[in-house]
Structure 1
Amino acid sequence: MKKILVPTDFSAQAENALKVAAQLAKKHDCEIHLLHVLEIPLHEVDALSTYNNLPEAVYFMKLAHKQFLELKSKDYLNDLVLHEHVEFHEIFKGVFHVCKKQDIDLVIMGSNGSTGFKEMLIGSNTEKVVRTSETPVLVIKNEHKNFKVKDFVFASDFKDESKIPYKKALKFAKILGAKIHLLMVNTPTKFVTSTKANNRMKKFAKNFDYDKHTINIFNDLNIEKGIMNFSQSIEAHLIGMSTHGRQGISHFFNGSISEDLVNHAKRPVITFKI
C-alpha cells in the first residue's frame, strides 16, 4: 500500500477520514492524495479562457486551493507527502478517475450515513463511491485518535465469486496485522445448516495462506443486522464485505448489503469490488 486517496469537502466527517489516512500513511510510508470535487461541467473550464469568462469556476478553484493549504497545515499531516486534486465531475466519477490516473491503493472516506427517504431517493456520496469504485473503500464514521485493527470481520456467503475480494481483504489484514473473523449470517429466508456452512467456509479458507482467522456462523433476522450484531459481540474494529456494484433498476430492487452497512454501521466498513 503506497497511495491513499481521501476525497474531501473540508467537513468534519472528511477530516475524520483524513486523520485515519495520516495514521496509516505514517506507519506504512504512504503518500496521501486529497481530492475535492467541483460540480461544474468540464466543458465550461477552459484554460485559455479569460478570468471574466469563467468567474465562477476560477473563484471555486481558488477557494479549493486555499482550503487545501489550510488543511495541509494541520499538525497531524506533518512530514507526509501530500498531493491535491480538483475534479469537475460527480464525486464517484472523480474518485474513479483519480484512482485510475494515480494508481491508488485505498480510498478513505468520511460519512454520516443516510436514512429514510434521503437514503432511498438519492443515497449518500459515500454510498455511490462504494458502489462504483474498483479500489477498496474504507468508510470512517467517527474520529479515531488511534486507528488500530486487531479484529476484522469479513462477511460473505463464501462462494467462488468471493475469492477475489477476500484476497484483497487478506492483503489489507496483513498490512494491519489483524485477525480475520470469517462470518456467514444465517437468516430465516436464506438458511444453511451449520454443517454445510462450516464445510463451505473451511474449504474456502484452505485456498488462502492465512492462519489468523476464525470461522463463525451467526443467526439473525437479516444479513445486515447479523453482521452488525456479531461485530458488536466481539467488539470488532472493522467490517469488510464485497460489493457487486449494481446500478440502476437492478440496484433499486436488489439493494446492496455493503451499501446498507456503509449507511448504518457505527464501525468502520471496508468494501472490495467483485
Structure 2
Amino acid sequence: MKKILVPVDFSEYSENALKVASEIAKKQNAEIVAVHMLGLSEAVITKEDNSMEGMFFLKLTQKRFAEFLDKDYLEGLTIHQTVKNYQVFSEIDDVAKEHNADLIVMGSHGSSGLSEVFVGSNTEKVVRTASVPVLVIKEDTSFNASNAVFACDFHLESLEVFKRITAFFKALDIKVNLMYVNIPGESYYSTEEIEQRIVNFLIHLHEDNTILPKDIAIYSDYTVEKGVFNYAKKVKADIIGIPTHGRKGLAHFFSGSISEDIVNHSKLPVLTVKI
C-alpha cells in the first residue's frame, strides 16, 4: 500500500477518517492524499467577470485546508493536498485513479430510520463507484483492529474481491473470520449446496491457499445485514469486510443496497471492495 486517499469536508467525520488513515499509513509506510471537493458552480469558474470570485474561494479553501491538516498525528507523514471542483462524490474515484491510490478512507455518521434518505449519501456514492477498496470510519477512535468478519457469497465472480480484502487484513495483521449468511426465501440454500459452492470457490483460489471449508462459518439469519452484524458481535469483531456490486449486477446476496445498508448502519469500520 503506497497511497491512501482521504476526502475532506472539514467535519469531525473527515478528521476521524484522517486519523485512521494516518495510522494505516505509518504501518504501511504509505503517503496520504487529502482531497477537498470545492463544488463551485460552472458560472463562477468560467465567466471572466466572476474569475476573481472563484479564485477567492480557492484561496480560502487552501488556507482552511492547511489549517485542517496541521495535526500532530500527521507528523512524519508525506501529505499531498488537492482541491477539486467536483460536485458529485462519485468523481472521488477519478481522483483515486489520478493519484494511483490503493485505498480510500472516508468518514461517515451513517444513518438510521427515515433520516437515511439524506444522511451518508456521499459515502454511499463513493462505496458504489470506487474501483479501489473503501474503508468507512464512523467514530473517533484509534484503528487498532485485530479481529475482522468478512462476509462473502462465494460465487466465483467474488474471487478477486476475496483476495483483495484478505490481503488487506493480512497486511495489517488482522485475523479474519470468514462467513456466509444463509437467509430464507429465494436466496436460501441447503447446507450441502453452500458447502459445495465454498469448496468450488476455494479450489479456484491461488495454489498457496491454506483456507479450508471448515474455516468458513455458515450463519443463518433473517437478512444478510442482521447476519453480518450478529456474527460480528458473536466473534467480537472490530471491523467488517464486504464486497459490493454497486448498482450493476444485483444478483446474489450483496446487491448495492445491502452493502450500503451495512455501511450506513454499522458502528464498526467497514471495508468495501467493488466486484
If the length of structure 1 is used for normalisation, what is the TM-score? 0.89
Conservation of the 8 A alpha-carbon contact between 2:34 and 2:82: yes
The residue aligned with 2:171 is: 175
Conservation of the 8 A alpha-carbon contact between 2:246 and 2:256: no
Conservation of the 8 A alpha-carbon contact between 2:40 and 2:87: no
The residue aligned with 1:103 is: 100
Distance 1:73 1:266, change over 3 A: same
Q: Secondary structure at the match of 1:14?
A: helix
The residue aligned with 2:243 is: 242
- Aligned pairs, number: 266
Q: Does 1:76 pair with 2:77?
A: no
1:197 to 194, 207, 227: 194
Instruction: Specify every segment of 5 or more residues in structure 2 that has no aligned partner in the other structure, as ranges.
Output: none
Name the CA distance, whole Å, in 2 between partners of 1:130 and 1:64: 25
Deviations 1:123-168 (A, max 9, x none): 61001100011111000001222x1332221112101111111111
Name the CA distance, whole Å, in 1 between partners of 2:119 and 2:232: 28
Distance 1:110 1:174, change over 3 A: same
The residue aligned with 2:218 is: 217
Residue 196 of structure 1 deviates from its aligned partner by 2.2
Q: Secondary structure at the match of 2:33?
A: strand
The residue aligned with 1:39 is: 39
The residue aligned with 2:146 is: 150
Residue 210 of structure 1 deviates from its aligned partner by 4.5
Name the CA distance, whole Å, in 2 between partners of 1:68 and 1:123: 22
Deviations 1:166-225 (A, max 9, x none): 111122122112222221111111222222222322332341444478311111111111
Q: Secondary structure at the match of 1:157?
A: coil
Aligned-pair RMSD on alpha carbons?
2.3
Q: What are the equivalent positions in structure 2 for 1:53-72 lying under 5 Å apart?
A: 53-72=50-69
If the length of structure 2 is used for normalisation, what is the TM-score? 0.88
The residue aligned with 1:5 is: 5
Q: Secondary structure at the match of 1:266?
A: coil
Name the CA distance, whole Å, in 1 between partners of 2:12 and 2:193: 45
Distance 1:167 1:42, change over 3 A: farther
The residue aligned with 1:267 is: 268
Q: Secondary structure at the match of 1:134?
A: coil
Conservation of the 8 A alpha-carbon contact between 1:187 and 1:222: yes
Name the CA distance, whole Å, in 1 between partners of 2:118 and 2:69: 35
Name the CA distance, whole Å, in 2 between partners of 1:67 and 1:212: 48
Q: Higher mean Cα deviation, 152-161 or 189-198?
A: 189-198
Name the CA distance, whole Å, in 2 between partners of 1:90 and 1:130: 16
Name the CA distance, whole Å, in 1 between partners of 2:122 and 2:56: 24
The residue aligned with 2:128 is: 131
Structure 2 residue identity aligned to 1:131: R
Name the CA distance, whole Å, in 1 between partners of 2:130 and 2:43: 24
Name the CA distance, whole Å, in 2 between partners of 1:198 and 1:244: 23
Structure 2 residue identity aligned to 1:261: I
The residue aligned with 1:20 is: 20
Conservation of the 8 A alpha-carbon contact between 1:7 and 1:14: yes
Conservation of the 8 A alpha-carbon contact between 1:238 and 1:267: yes
Conservation of the 8 A alpha-carbon contact between 1:148 and 1:176: no
Residue 255 of structure 1 deviates from its aligned partner by 5.1
Residue 40 of structure 1 deviates from its aligned partner by 1.4
Name the CA distance, whole Å, in 1 between partners of 2:69 and 2:153: 42
Conservation of the 8 A alpha-carbon contact between 1:109 and 1:138: yes
Instruction: Specify every segment of 5 or more residues in structure 1 that has no aligned partner in the other structure, as ranges.
Output: none
Distance 1:123 1:151, change over 3 A: closer
Conservation of the 8 A alpha-carbon contact between 1:179 and 1:212: no
Q: What are the equivalent positions in structure 2 for 1:222-237 lying under 5 Å apart?
A: 222-237=223-238
Distance 1:91 1:152, change over 3 A: farther
